[in-house]
Amino acid sequence: MKYYILFGPPGAGKGTQAKKIITKFNYLHLSTGDLLRGEIKKGSKLGKNAAFIIEQGNLVPDEIVADMIKKQFEAHKNDVDGFLLDGFPRTKKQAVMLDKILFEMNQEVTQILSLHLDDKYIFDRIFHRAQIEGRKDDTKTEVIQNRIDTYHSKTEPLISYYKKQDKYFEIDGLGTIDEIFEKISKIF
């Protein structure tokens, strides 16, 4: 079983690329952001608790997202050849939790594919996407800035975590959707 992580700042195009990857490979796209938005839509207790945190551009507790991911692995392990994680892990603690979950299943992270994008492009991309998708967390300037700052302070340190494990691959996130997909496909 393959366990890939699609990594990068918000707005780097992870969701778009993930959709293309899973149509080419028999993987399941697991986006914690999508799963959390699904919980909010359902009106579940988890969704209600997460909604305010998400609207502020902060991170929901590590245990909640790790548990969601674990349940998805268990539910779909016989349906697919692999999992494509998008938006998880987002903190060092989540990365350690993921390693533990996989270790208990006798598995490990296969590779990290990182879409690199400079801050100057991130803001516009997020803002533009919000117009299309109507996302509440991406319409306010200060919330977008908080999401970018949170990425730098809490998520970016994961790069060295995975570099040390020799699993980190970086791709320039600037280019057309197809150009970037071609580069990703070569790594796969």
Task: Kindly state the smallest distance separating residue 160's Cβ from ligand AMP, in Å.
Answer: 18
Task: Kindly state the smallest distance separating residue 61's Cβ from ligand AMP, in Å.
Answer: 7
Among candidate residues 35, 47, 110, the one with its CA nearest the CA of residue 75: 35
Go through the chain and tell me how many residues it has: 188
Per rule CB under 6 A, is residue 84 in the interface with ligand AMP? no
Residue with the two structure tokens 């996989």: 102
d(CA 98, CA 22) in angstroms, rounded, equals 21
Q: How many residues in the shown chain lie near ligand AMP by CB under 6 A?
A: 17
Per rule CB under 6 A, is residue 114 in the interface with ligand AMP? no
Site string for ligand AMP, 1-40 (x = CB under 6 A): ---------x---------------------xx--x----
Per rule CB under 6 A, is residue 147 in the interface with ligand AMP? yes
Query: Phi first, then psi: what are they for 68, rounded to 5°?
Result: -60, -45
d(CA 86, CA 5) in angstroms, rounded, equals 6
Task: Kindly state the smallest distance separating residue 117's Cβ from ligand AMP, in Å.
Answer: 13
